[in-house]
Amino acid sequence: MGSFHVSAVVHAIATATRYRTGVVDIDRIRQDVVPLVRTIRPGSLFDDPSLSAVRHDIVGVMRAIPMPDVDTVLSELANSNHIDPVEYLFNNTVLLTANGVSRAVEVRPMFTNRNLTTEWFDQFLTPNQYNNLVKHIAAKTRHSRDESEVREFVHDYVTNTSGRDGLRDRIIAGDDPSPACIRAWVWKQALSTFRNEGTDAQTRTVKGSKTERDLREGTPVEVSCAVDGPTTVVYALEGGSDNDPGMFATSSASHGHALLDVVDAAPSHEDVLAHQRALDQGMARLDAAVRAYKPGAADRYSRVLGHLARGLSPSEVAQAEDVSPARAATLIAEVRTAGRIRASRDRVRGDIIRYLETEPMSTLADLADDLSVDDACIRDAVTELVTEGVISWRRGGSLHVTRDTLDIRGM
């Protein structure tokens, strides 16, 4: 029997087990191997320039050769120690041995000229792996915690690496990168970007980017806004000191906190509306979260949220609510807790939307299996998204994204 057909069966087994020594049912191999032979693409088998003129004829002849009975090929593989004889003879399953895996790696280029890196990322980068990668990079990013920017780093790395089929040699050799390798490579690319931003005047001003020398010497980088006219600035307020409410503020004063966004003094009418709509939606979402968290005193906690949004300090909140500073600190802490719960829910919402965009018509069970989130939290978030019309139920209990979700991605 021709070695080509042996290679085809080995490749079918390896593909079914993702090049691991896992067990696969023989019936699946019977189904997979014949279409594989009929659709063979030459790949590196015919890289020899002397065969270029007859390459098409050779492939045609190979496709025309009758495929031997798959069991005959499997018997030969068992005798040559490419598959486990016990699994084959007694369990009606196939298990590649170490020799079988080596043979599969060797013959893989015969059966594909596709971008192996893209295929590998399609299998590896599940929603859960993607989110873990983003969280890892964000945790290491001390001076830019904007999640959308971190996601850009991940997206750019995957796009650039896939574009040049950068992992092909490793994949063909059977040396698939581990998650730790991917995290290290993405971080290295992000670090290079941060270094470049530290020497750029615009990013040093707007984002507070620093060079390595700045970081070593503790050089402060002043953040300023040099535009004329009225300007709305959004700041991230973290911590919980007496002079820091610990959430966020929208005003024209920096309060000494990290700059998140600046609206140009002369924006277009559409930009103004979009920006204000985003702020209104965010405040409405936070207000609803605070009221749900403290239903017994919803109005008071809603007012405290409004005080914080206007940039009032804890002492000013105490004066506005006519309470002691200690009581004001407690009110602020409760509002912060409600905000963190809302932020956690929004992250789950974003994860669900991204998952459904890549895996349409998935069910609640699929979400529970692939997202590392409590089932009750998933159900609550799905109910909320369905109520808002972002996703909808379809026949068979599946879910579907019903409208553009650009405005709520990354939550």
Residue 221 forms part of a structural domain: no
What are residue 367's phi and psi, to 5 degrees? -60, -45
Residue 226 forms part of a structural domain: no
Percent of the chain with pLDDT over 90: 0
Assess whether 277 and 385 both reside in one domain.
yes
Sequential DSSP letters for 242-257: TT--SSEEEESS-TT-
Burial of 49 (0-12, 13-18, 19+ CB in 10 A): exposed
Average pLDDT over residues 164-170: 80
More confidently predicted of 208 and 382: 382
Average pLDDT over residues 92-115: 75
Assess whether 107 and 123 both reside in one domain.
no
Beta strands 398-401 and 362-363 are antiparallel
Which residue intervals of 164-200 are DSSP H helices?
A: 168-172, 179-198
pLDDT at 217: 52
Which residues are within 8 A (CB) of 159 and not within 5 positions of it... i.e. 6 or more apart? none
pLDDT at 172: 65
For residue 383, the tally of other CB atoms under 10 A from its CB is 10
For residue 50, the tally of other CB atoms under 10 A from its CB is 7
Assess whether 199 and 310 both reside in one domain.
no
Sequential DSSP letters for 134-184: HHHHHHH-SS---HHHHHHHHHHHHHHHHHTTTTHHHHHTT-PPPHHHHHH
Tokens of 176: 């698939």
The 10s digit of each residue's pLDDT in 284-334 is 878 888 888 888 888 999 898 888 888 888 888 889 999 888 888 889 888
Assess whether 361 and 307 both reside in one domain.
yes
More confidently predicted of 162 and 278: 162
Tokens of 171: 């994949």
Tokens of 30: 């019977």
Assess whether 158 and 101 both reside in one domain.
no
Burial profile 317-339: b = 16 or more Cβ within 10 angstroms, e = fewer: bbeebebeeeebbebbebbbebb
Mean of the per-residue pLDDT values of the chain: 69
Tell whether the model's pLDDT for residue 173 goes beyond 50: yes
Tell whether the model's pLDDT for residue 337 goes beyond 80: yes
Residue 34 forms part of a structural domain: yes
Q: Which of 161, 184, 215 is the last residue of a domain?
A: 215
Q: Which of 86, 113, 140 is the last residue of a domain?
A: 113
pLDDT at 109: 67
Residue 223 forms part of a structural domain: no
Check: CB of residue 307 under 8 Å from CB of residue 237.
no
Q: Which of 93, 113, 133 is the last residue of a domain?
A: 113
Residue 227 forms part of a structural domain: no
Strand order in the sheet with 232-236: 248-251, 232-236, 258-263
Assess whether 108 and 129 both reside in one domain.
no
Check: CB of residue 47 under 8 Å from CB of residue 55.
no
What is the C-alpha to C-alpha distance for residues 278 and 287, in angstroms, rounded to an integer? 14
Average pLDDT over residues 175-195: 78
pLDDT at 284: 82
What is the C-alpha to C-alpha distance for residues 296 and 291, in angstroms, rounded to an integer? 8
Residue 40 forms part of a structural domain: yes
Assess whether 109 and 148 both reside in one domain.
no
Assess whether 202 and 150 both reside in one domain.
yes
pLDDT at 243: 42
Assess whether 78 and 128 both reside in one domain.
no
Assess whether 282 and 387 both reside in one domain.
yes
Q: Is 156 helix (H, G, I), strand (E, B) or coil?
A: helix
What are residue 351's phi and psi, to 5 degrees? -60, -40
Residue 292 forms part of a structural domain: yes
The 10s digit of each residue's pLDDT in 40-98 is 444 434 444 443 444 444 444 444 445 556 778 778 888 888 888 887 788 777 788 88
Q: Say which amino acid occupies 63.
A: R
Domain span holding position 329:
232-408
Domain count, the chain: 3
Assess whether 390 and 403 both reside in one domain.
yes
Assess whether 196 and 285 both reside in one domain.
no
**Residues forming a β-bridge with 233:** 251, 262
pLDDT at 189: 77
For residue 61, the tally of other CB atoms under 10 A from its CB is 10
Residue 338 forms part of a structural domain: yes
